[in-house]
Amino acid sequence: MTAQTLRNYIDGQWVPSDSDRVLDVLNPATEEVLAKVPLGAASDVDKAAKAAHAAFASWRKVPPVERARYLFKLKQLLEDNREELARICTSEHGKTIAESRGSVQRGIECVEVACGAPSLLMGDTLEDVATGIDCQSVRQPIGVFACIAPFNFPAMVPMWFFPFAVACGDTFICKPSEQVPLSQQFVWKLVEDAGFPPGVLNLVNGDSEVVNAICTHPLIRGVSFVGSSPVAKHVYETAAKHGKRVQALGGAKNFMVVMPDANRERTLEALSSSAYGCAGERCLAGAIVLAVGDSHTWLRDGLKQKAAAIRVGDGATDGVTMGPVISAAHKDRVLGYIDRGVEEGAELIHDGRSSQQPANGFFVGPCLFDGVTEEMAIGQEEIFGPVLCIEKANDLDAAMARISKHPLANASTIFTQDGSAARRFKFEVDASMAAVNIGVAAPMSFFGFGGAKGSFFGDLKAHGREAFDFFTDRKVFMTRWD
Ligand code: NAD
């Protein structure tokens, strides 16, 4: 069967891209071609931006309570179709079906929070700021916003943004990752079924050409980006230079500090699922275990056992606990880091490369290194694969110093039963998401989310109350009636 070429959704219509550049979308577990995605042209962005700009004029006047009703409808459609969306997500990304279901649920929760727009959009009022003068601040929508998404959460990441933007009265263009465009293709069919007016929500497929067109288009007022730090920085700089609001969430190298008093079994379980869940392709994945004092011995043995117990295979199959990585190129990149770790003198105590794996697909079994140091590439750079590194730290001070020196600061966690160590860690660690006894400090739709240092470029972070700040402008009315 010939793979279908995907269309864009612009101004309420499914339309072909102007570009004839296409990419095969593969199931990374089987290498089956699922579809062809157009790599997009600047003219596609221009059409979407013009449609979204035209729709803004009337959408901003739709009362927030009515805008929320479209989102309630979308939430219902997402819930009714959650299993199909999870299956699409697994087929194009490779993560297990349980992981896909979890990510779809997190996306739906963003729609739920955005449904609260009538309350969350309220402003402030003070009567008599001077005699007979009242002052009122309101939030107003701004115009056309766009998001640029990474490959690792095909269904969820765009939902971190578009429900909030349209709840605020803005209109929107979504550019999914060209590696995993099918989940959003499906979500946008639900958007169509929810009955949003034409032009309010648009979908444009593509790669860097579309990204650069978004960052420079004069009608687009703001950009939300999620992806690697070098591209986040590029998007931040380019879009800001073109007068846009930007929030650009970048890459990560997350540290997990284990104190000697930590609960052993719970800590081992949390570390293992943090590092190997979604085949390590999570911006919140634990990458380095900082083993404080004599925790090193039980961590080394326990993590080895956990890695050996992981069942690698097609994420759509029951019982599989880790799927493939996204592509052949990414597999080579991860394998390159493993080779480099060995060359640089780290000890590969569990070598997932040699584990039983399906013949087709981009599989890398779970790998565990001990004796890692901060000078090694595996101790410094984001691998974004199922590779966990153990490094020794003399005490909490040494562990905190190691974390502070690293340029990225997305998430960090401490495992301990000592409240004072936990409190110090929470308040002092650089990471934007700081956790205690939790492997993955997952973003909650009703709280803000983003990174710190080189993991985030911008001011206002994603979802929660901050989304309502990002997608609106504050205006102040001063009134006197004599
Ligand atoms: P990526 O940076 O390669 O791609 C992200 C998006 O940018 C894609 O839509 C892609 O088309 C576009 N892009 C890629 N190269 C570009 C270029 N040179 N110019 C313009 N646009 C370009 O990231 P990825 O590989 O898809 O995703 C993995 C990365 O995302 C990891 O670094 C991970 O840590 C990060 N991530 C961060 C978060 C977070 O919340 N901070 C969440 C998920 C993923």
* Full residue range of the structural domain in which residue 359 is found: 254-436
Q: What is the pLDDT of residues 175-194, one digit of tens each?
A: 999 999 999 999 999 999 99
What average pLDDT does range 415-422 have in this prediction? Answer: 98
Among candidate residues 94, 34, 88, the one with its CA nearest the CA of residue 312: 94
According to the model, what pLDDT value does residue 1 have?
60
| CATH code: domain of residue 243 | 3.40.605.10
Model pLDDT for residues 102-125, shown as the tens digit of each residue: 999 999 999 999 999 999 999 999
Which residues surround ligand 1 with Cβ inside 6 Å?
148-152, 175, 177-178, 207-208, 211-212, 226-228, 231, 234, 249-252, 283, 382, 384, 410, 451, 455
Whether 89 sits among the annotated catalytic residues: the reply is: no
Same domain, 46 and 149: yes
The pLDDT score that the predictor gives to residue 2 is 78
Both 193 and 293 in one domain: the answer is no
Given this model, what pLDDT does residue 67 score? 98
Specify the residue with its C-alpha closest to ligand 1, atom 21. Answer: 208
The residue whose two tokens read 């295979």 is: 313
Q: Give the span between the Cα atoms of 331 and 275, in whole angstroms.
A: 16
* 442 inside domain: no
By alpha-carbon position, which residue is closest to atom 16 of ligand 1?
A: 208
309 in a domain, yes or no?
A: yes
Q: Are residues 118 and 12 in the same domain?
A: yes
Same domain membership, residue 468 and residue 400: no
Do 286 and 379 share a domain, yes or no?
yes
Verify that 325 and 389 share a domain, yes or no.
Answer: yes
**Residue with CA nearest ligand 1 atom 24:** 150
Domain membership of residue 216 (yes or no) is yes
**What are the beta bridge partners of residue 322?**
312
Could you tell me the distance, in angstroms and rounded to a whole number, from the CA of residue 409 to the centre of ligand 1? 16
- Tens of pLDDT, residue by residue over 50-87, are 999 999 999 999 999 999 999 999 999 999 999 999 99
Tokens linked to 45: 């962005």
3 domain-assigned:
no
**Does residue 77 belong to any structural domain of this protein?**
yes
pLDDT at residue 16 above 70?
yes
Same domain, 46 and 195: yes
Judge whether 445 lies within some domain.
no
DSSP letter for 352, please.
G
**For residue 154, which amino acid is it?**
P
Residues 20, 136, single domain; the answer is yes
Residue 377 belongs to a domain:
yes
Query: Could you tell me if 24 and 146 lie in one domain?
Result: yes
Q: Which protein residue has the closest C-alpha to ligand 1 atom 19?
A: 208
Ligand 1 centre from 232 Cα, in Å? 7
Beta partners for 140? Answer: 473
Q: Both 269 and 296 in a single domain?
A: yes
Q: What's the CATH number where 258 sits? A: 3.40.309.10
Q: What is the pLDDT of residue 356?
A: 77
- Dist CA 355 CA 224 (whole Å): 39
Distance 256 CA to ligand 1 centre (A): 23
Q: Are residues 151 and 282 in the same domain?
A: no
For the CA of 249, the closest atom of ligand 1 is 41
What is the tens place of the pLDDT at every residue in 301-340?
Answer: 999 999 999 999 999 999 999 999 999 999 999 999 999 9
Residues paired with 249 in a beta bridge? 226, 456
Give the count of domains, the chain.
Answer: 2
In a domain, 330, yes or no: yes
One domain, residues 25 and 170: yes
